[in-house]
Amino acid sequence: MNEMLSGIINNAFFVFFPIFLYYLFYHQGRDRFFNNDKFILTILFSISVTLCMFFPYQFLMTEDYLFDLRQVPLIIGTLYGGYIVGAVLFVVSAVVRLIIGGGDGVVIALLNQFAIFAVVPLFRRAYFKLVHRKRIAVITMISAGSLAFNAFAGALLFNDPLLEVLDMWFILLLNQSLFIILTTIVIERIMKNNYIEQNMQKHEKLEVISHLSASISHEIRNPLQVIKGFIQLLHTKEYDREKQKEFYQYMNEEIESAERIISDYLMFAKPTFDDQETISVEREIEKAVSIIQPYANLSSVSIQYTGLASDHLIDCDHQRFKQVIINIARNSIEAMEGGGKLTFKVKGDKDHVLVIIADTGKGMTGEEVIRLGEPYYSNKATGTGLGMMVVYSILKNIHGTIEVNSMPDKGTEFLIRFPKSMQQPK
């Protein structure tokens, strides 16, 4: 009894371990079991089939038959993986069966294993159209059919006494059904979770976009409204030159405020986040520096940038990358009213590219650093409080991180870490 139980438990473990390993290491971002990881899953399933076959178990009522759960990984692997995976699993199981050897069993086993390889893939198309519950029903029937095949093949080809050991076949049926159902449920659950996870990410991105577009149109409408008001005033009544000048002054301020909002967001408010490209951090920083150089000159800030000797690659839309650099650099320049030094550095390690932007400006208290990135958080008379929010949103989308070290009256240092691109430099 004990022996039988431990045999079954061993087999159950052999059946489950590929799924657990897969779940631990490979599940993220995968949409269909076996679709993305055919190679590794085929190896895991081959090991599973082999172990099942080398450590079979025996039922109490008969000494003549040995069983194992090989059909579970064989059927699941062939069904989810298709003909190529099925072929590998067939070859592995055939070789193992020949190594184990012994009597009539070999022929039946080989026939059965071949039948699984030949027939099961025919179900694939229909199978993947089914809802999860029906899939479990179908796979249970395939498993039962496969056992019936063995029973009848034994009876027909070798006159095995089918009726006398009907109870054993029945228990075997329950046994194998239980494990194939459990395994399928786990696989289907993993796939469903992946699906939900992916959709949530998409949903989150859309939410950021809709939130941003709503607030940008709101923010720009205000100045436009004010400008419109002044134009109407000028239109309906004759004002003296002084009054007119005053109005134009107001209108100009409103236009500038709209411009600031647009430039804080501008490149960010593009409709998708998916147009990723591989860019050189050094080249893009160079471009960003040339854009902010005039602004720095205006505040007598000198820019130091060395790093053009190398090329570190990351995957990010080049506009958004520049937006990150420009929004941070602008804040730095604005923090150095009486002039100062703005430094850019680029470093790379195994997995990341690190961009360091440091200023000698007025710095921030710990509290202020924490509030960075909050929408509309600004300490400036004409600030939008959008610059850092946009920086944080962009970085979140490309899995970048930012660390801020700041000392009041000393300066601020931004450490921005980007995941390194998989592309190799040309």
Shortest distance, position 370 Cβ to ligand ADP, whole Å: 11
Q: Say if CB 33 and CB 80 are below 8 A apart.
A: yes
Binder of residue 362, out of Mg ion, ligand ADP, none (CB less than 5 to 8 A by kind)? ligand ADP
> 51: closest CA among 14, 106, 1?
14
Q: How far is the CB of 382 from ligand ADP (least distance, A)?
A: 8
Give the three-class secondary structure for 276. Answer: coil
**Overall residue count recorded for the chain in this entry:** 426
From the list Mg ion, ligand ADP, none, partner contacted by residue 364 (C-beta under 5 to 8 A by kind): ligand ADP
We find the least distance from the C-beta atom of residue 396 to ligand ADP, in angstroms, to be 15
Q: Which stretch binds ligand ADP (CB under 6 A): 199-207, 229-237, 246-254, 374-382?
A: 374-382
380 binds, options Mg ion, ligand ADP, none, Cβ within 5 to 8 A by partner type: ligand ADP
How many CB atoms are closer than 10 A to CB 399? 11
Distance CA 364, CA 351 (A): 30
The token pair that represents 142 in the structure block? 């395939």
Cβ atoms of 334 and 380 within 8 Å: the answer is yes
Part of the chain binding ligand ADP (CB under 6 A), chosen from 152-160, 212-220, 312-320, 328-336: 328-336
Q: Is 323 in the site for ligand ADP (CB under 6 A)?
A: no
Question: Of 71, 175, 332, 393, which lies in the binding site for ligand ADP, with binding defined by CB under 6 A?
Answer: 332
Give how far Cα 36 sits from Cα of 139, 140, 395, Å: 22, 25, 27
Which of residues 30 and 322 has its CB atom nearest to ligand ADP in the complex?
Answer: 322
For the segment 383-422, give every residue that binds Mg ion (CB under 5 A). Answer: 387
Find the part of the chain contacting ligand ADP (CB under 6 A) among 114-122, 167-175, 193-201, 360-368: 360-368
Give the closest residue to 49 by CA, choosing from 85, 27, 25, 74.
74
Position of minimal CB gap to ligand ADP:
387
Residues 291-350 that bind Mg ion (CB under 5 A): 331
SS3 content of the chain, % helix, strand, coil (to 5): 65, 10, 25
Quickly list H helices, 268-410: 281-298, 318-334, 366-371, 387-397
Pairing between strand 340-348 and 301-305?
A: parallel
Q: How far is the CB of 267 from ligand ADP (least distance, A)?
A: 15
Asked if 380 interacts with ligand ADP (CB under 6 A), we say yes
Residue 372 contact, options Mg ion, ligand ADP, none, Cβ 5-8 Å cut-off depending on partner type: ligand ADP
Angstrom distance (rounded) from CA 146 to CA 115:
8
The residues that touch ligand ADP, with contacts defined as CB under 6 A, are 327, 331-332, 335, 359, 361-364, 372, 377-380, 383-389, 412
